[in-house]
Homo-oligomer: A and B are copies of this chain.
Amino acid sequence: MDLRHLRYFVAVAEEENIGRAATRLHISQPPLTRQIQQLEEELGVALFIRTPRGMELTQAGELFLEEARNIRALVEQATERTQRAGQGKLGRLDIGIFGSAILDVIPKLLLNFRNCHPDVKVVLHTMTKAEQIEAVRQRRISVGFNRMLAPLDDIVIKQVATEGLLVALHADHPLARQSVIRFAELKDHPMILFPTGARPSFIDKVMGLCIENGFQPQISQEVGDAVTGVALVASGFGICLVPESATTLQFPGVIYRRLTDPPPNLIVDLSCIYRRGDQSPILAAFLQTVDDYRESASEQVD
């Protein structure tokens, strides 16, 4: 049996007349007669009663008509869904994130992506940098977001955004009276660092800046992520260098101050990683969204 047989059968059943059905199908009458005979022979069942007036469905034919319509609808649906999946408009995208990336850029990106691709199910997985790399390799996630990424052969790193650094400090802190702070002034003030875990990380960025400015930081506490860091600032444990997006966190008593030095020293990048050679149309669509985001972000700067 063939989908052609079903198409022909439905036409004949609807027209109740082989000649008219043949016209509708843009073929001549004899081949259609033969196809219907073949179908009946293959099923071993009479689907039609031949009357002088035309073709009339048997009970078995009535039943088969329903089934044939179902099958044809399902085929059409399968075709359409598969095509949408091939265009990255249907399916699932697993994304690896880490603590502070969720604060600003990722929500905006996801919002844009879901507007264009409402039928792609986005699943977020919180994981460390090392876990993300491993998960990308094993295809458990298609894309991961992180900072301070070192080049790898099998993984592409694509910069998503750059953010300036701010100092988070308590309103009672001596430096809080200044509207702008020079980096060197941070010397001798206890500092909260994050994240713990795999190096190189944001910690190394901060340590490097301190050394460039001629001092070793006084480490008050090492914590897992920016959220915890700012929470400790609110509790008076010290100051904390954070990316701009951390201003989303408005803990009581915490204020953010800009540093005087200009880029490129006082910026930190946010990048995404994905498997080199990954052909997934959903990933491609997501990376397109990332590009669009970067463009619109740089336009805002202009």
Q: Least Cβ distance of A233 to chain B in Å?
A: 44
In the complex, per-residue mask of A267-302: 1 if CB is within 8 Å of any chain B CB, else 0: 000000000000111100000000000000000000
Q: Are B279 and A58 in contact (CB under 8 A)?
A: yes
Q: Are B43 and A82 in contact (CB under 8 A)?
A: yes
Q: Least Cβ distance of A111 to chain B in Å?
A: 23
CA–CA, A82 and B6, complex, Å: 13
Select A4's contact among B2, B58, B70, B280, beta carbons within 8 Å: B2
CA–CA, A4 and B2, complex, Å: 8
Residue of B nearest to A277 (CB): B49
Chain A residues close to B by CB (< 8 Å): 1-4, 43-47, 49, 58-60, 63-64, 67-68, 70-71, 74-75, 77-79, 81-83, 85-86, 90-92, 279-282
**Known A2-B3, A64-B78; further 4 A-B contacts with Cβ < 8 A:** A3-B3, A45-B83, A70-B78, A71-B78
Residue of B nearest to A91 (CB): B59
Q: Is the interface of A mostly helix, strand, loop or mixed?
A: helix
Copies in the complex: 2
Q: Are B46 and A86 in contact (CB under 8 A)?
A: yes
A-B contact pairs, 19 of them (CB 8 A): A1-B3, A2-B2, A43-B79, A45-B83, A58-B86, A59-B85, A59-B91, A59-B92, A59-B280, A59-B282, A60-B82, A64-B78, A64-B82, A64-B85, A67-B74, A67-B82, A70-B74, A71-B71, A71-B78
Q: Which of A86, A92, A280 has the most CB of B within 10 A?
A: A86
Q: Are B60 and A85 in contact (CB under 8 A)?
A: yes
A67 proximity list for chain B (CB < 8 A): 74, 77-78, 81-82
CA–CA, A250 and B298, complex, Å: 96
A74 proximity list for chain B (CB < 8 A): 67, 70-71, 74
CA–CA, A144 and B59, complex, Å: 19
A77 proximity list for chain B (CB < 8 A): 67
Q: Are A1 and B79 in contact (CB under 8 A)?
A: yes
A279 proximity list for chain B (CB < 8 A): 46, 49, 58
Q: Are B44 and A60 in contact (CB under 8 A)?
A: no
CA–CA, A92 and B62, complex, Å: 12
CA–CA, A32 and B77, complex, Å: 24
A63-B49 contact in complex given A4-B2, A71-B71, C-beta closer than 8 Å: no
Q: Are A63 and B91 in contact (CB under 8 A)?
A: yes
A281 proximity list for chain B (CB < 8 A): 59-60
A46 proximity list for chain B (CB < 8 A): 86, 279
A86-B2 contact in complex given A63-B91, A64-B78, A78-B64, C-beta closer than 8 Å: no
